[in-house]
Amino acid sequence: MSNDNSNRIKDFKEVVKRLLDEVSGCSKEVEVEIDKLSGMKGELSGIVNELERIKAILEGKKRQELSDEELDEIEDTVEVLKEELEAKKRKTGKILKGKGEAEKYLTDLKYLKAEFENYKRRTEKDKREFADYLIEGFIMELLPIKDNLEVAIAHAKENEHSEGLVKGVEMTFKQFKELLERKGLAEIKAEGEPFDPFRHEVVSKEVNENYHENTVIEVIRKGYAFREKIIRPARVKIAVKEK
């Protein structure tokens, strides 16, 4: 991973931590404000009850039955209730505004978290692809060695006095082959297969009536795929029909 990527990840982590701290603090404030709203509801209920009482008085008596003192008292009470209601409305507005800001923080954090997760996935994908690229280049350099070992084994088998050498080379070759396969190398199927321009490279053609046309009848050089990606097509001879 490049230094730039490391620095970006570090910056993202710091931003996420800061936002988490801010949201945590904001959430605590919201809880406090919710408690305040619960208390506010009780206070507003008190105002409602007082207004209902005054309403009942006004509706239960005729206007001329109320004395000036009673009307003055009602007027004073209504003015006090109006002031209290305005104060409660302002306080409620501030509480609700704080709650809205907290919800905005949470939304922003969710968005940033999603962006960070996407960035992490892209970074991990880039790392895997770069690692595969390095391994692929290494395997490409090893393939000629593998080819030579196969040729050595084939030649040694033709010599009657090389049985021990053949076994030793075969054992080495087996270990070498298994190592490459564990790393993701797979031999491309060729002989007897229909010609595939993506997996095979034609180096010669032969008239052969025993095979369907464009069928691989001989592998000149094996081909390989690394984790399903063709890194070296198989060089092959294919059958053609006599014209």
pLDDT over 60 (residue 5):
no
Answer whether residue 144 is part of any domain: no
Decide: residue 235, CB within 10 A, 0-12 exposed, 13-18 middle, 19+ buried: middle
The mean pLDDT of 129-145, rounded to a whole number, is 80
Answer whether residue 148 is part of any domain: no
Based on the fold, state whether residues 115 and 37 are members of the same structural domain: yes
Answer whether residue 215 is part of any domain: yes
pLDDT over 80 (residue 94):
no
Based on the fold, state whether residues 126 and 8 are members of the same structural domain: yes
Answer whether residue 179 is part of any domain: no
| Chain segment 180-206, per-residue pLDDT in tens | 888 888 999 999 999 999 999 999 999
What whole-number distance in Å separates Cα of residue 193 and Cα of residue 153? 25
Based on the fold, state whether residues 15 and 86 are members of the same structural domain: yes
Backbone phi and psi for residue 214, each to the nearest 5 degrees, phi listed first: 65, 25
Domain that holds residue 217: 184-243
pLDDT of residue 174: 83
| pTM (predicted TM-score) | 0.42
Count of domains forming the chain: 2
Contact present, 184 and 136 (Cβ < 8 Å)? no
Percent of the chain whose predicted confidence (pLDDT) is above 90: 18
